[in-house]
Amino acid sequence: MRRLSSATLDALPDDVIRPAYDRAAVRAGVVHLGIGAFHRAHQAAVFDDVLNAGDLRWGIVAASLRSPRVRDQMAPQDGLYTMLVRDGSSERARIIGAVQRVIVAPEEPLALLDALASPHTHIVTLTITEKGYKLDPATGELIEHDPQLAADLASLTRPQTAPGYLVAALAKRKALGLPPFTAISCDNLPHNGRRLRNAVLALAHRHDAPLAEWIAEEGAFPETMVDRIVPATTAEDVAALAARLDVADQAMVKTEPFIQWVIEDRFCGPRPEFGAWVQLTAAVAPWEEAKLRLLNGAHSGIAYLGGLAGIEHVHEVLALPAARAFVEALWDEAQTTLSPPPELNIAFYRRELMARFDNPTLRHRTRQIAMDGSQKLPQRLLAPIAARLATGKGIKALSLAVAAWLRWQAGQDDLGNAHDVDDPLAGMIAARLKGAGTPEERVAAILRVDAVVPPALAENGAFRMALTRWLAMLETQGALATLASFQGEI
């Protein structure tokens, strides 16, 4: 079967939305680090809208910092791919043309540096996950023993990390007399702009103090909040789309109708006139906290409890009345820790979230959400737990979600099926839990992992008791029975 490409665009069915601009006339004003499904369904779609509106300065040069997989999917397709927008009753196919090129950084480091240092580049976006910033979550300092970062600390001739590429490119721009670019983290992290800025400045200081001062004074690292559910694409998805379009698309993504991008209005150079999906604001933190503690916190609870019960998809977990009651209770607890902006109606937001979770066409896998839990729990669940305990409030639902994560570390669900604990701290956590024979001992062991649990929270007796109680119940009765008991108590 033919591949999707510029040559096959005209042969697509009439209901497929195509780029309304001349791709040959587009300039690359954006470089994106960490191209994956989320970027293709979120930021790339936003910039595609800008191009469709007639401003052709905002094409994208994208880069993979590790694998050539996405490059190999997109290069034969001239950078084109299908974004399928699905809800319970419809499916809309749109071809995204914003990505002009995909660079595999380990293969072409100098090409990526040239793109970052181009005078046409004004914005750099990143989706590199929590691990990509090379910062210790407990101290905020550079993880100097990380092999890739250690190489960048020694030399930035051929960078290996995202901060390394940014520092090397900014040094090149400074030498060429160009202004810095605006660097925008699009990862689900609290204070993601500050985190990115800290990583870049710390690395720059180690190489060139005047460069670091120039970046600090002239550069911009806006805080952002991004939101769109983008499940992993399956082989079945690719085959079904090929049957519909009569061309093969190996780079397709599937997503929901909802999309949100809140950006702190702090740019150091040109920016596009963003469309309705983007909200520029003076303060991102209230939006960010609401998403992390409501959407992402609930997602983590659903993923671990559903995964332990052997349930594959989010909407299938929420078909259980007890799971639905758990999510509502978790939201009741987390909501009290928020200071939402006036524009955010929490009651409406919760109803909207539940409808998104219920979308059966997304088939969002619990195991996908369960990845990298040690990096996600501090901001999603542990922060609201600490806030509630500080004001004497209960943590029943939030602590059950954390206990389910701890139970997940055993690598086996309630049906006896093994699963991989896909987490950068999996080995260390497994070593800590080894030999812990009782729920009390396992909780004590995990509370000593200060890279995950803040010491002040680890010393809280109410948190320890709640975590121990739920873990014991999960281990002896299983996730479904534990959810039923939870529902009976609320």
Q: Domain residue spans in the chain? A: 6-281, 285-489
pLDDT for res 108: 97
233-236, long-range: CB < 8 A, 24+ apart: 233/37, 234/363
Mean pLDDT calculated for residue range 363-384 = 95
Convert the pLDDT of each residue in 97-154 to its tens digit.
999 999 999 999 999 999 999 999 999 999 999 899 999 977 889 999 999 999 999 9
pLDDT for res 189: 85
Asked whether residue 248 carries a pLDDT value surpassing 80, the answer given is yes
Mean pLDDT calculated for residue range 432-456 = 96
pLDDT for res 137: 78
Which of these ranges, 185-189, 215-219, 224-228, 359-363, has the smallest mean pLDDT? 359-363
pLDDT for res 194: 96
pLDDT for res 33: 98
pLDDT for res 245: 97
Mean pLDDT calculated for residue range 11-23 = 97
CATH class of 6-281: alpha beta
pLDDT for res 7: 97
Residue type, 137: P
pLDDT for res 361: 86
pLDDT over 70, % of the chain? 100
CATH of region 285-489, choose from 1.20.1280.50, 1.10.1040.10, 1.10.10.60, 3.30.70.360: 1.10.1040.10
Look over the chain and give the mean of its residue pLDDT values, rounded to a whole number.
96
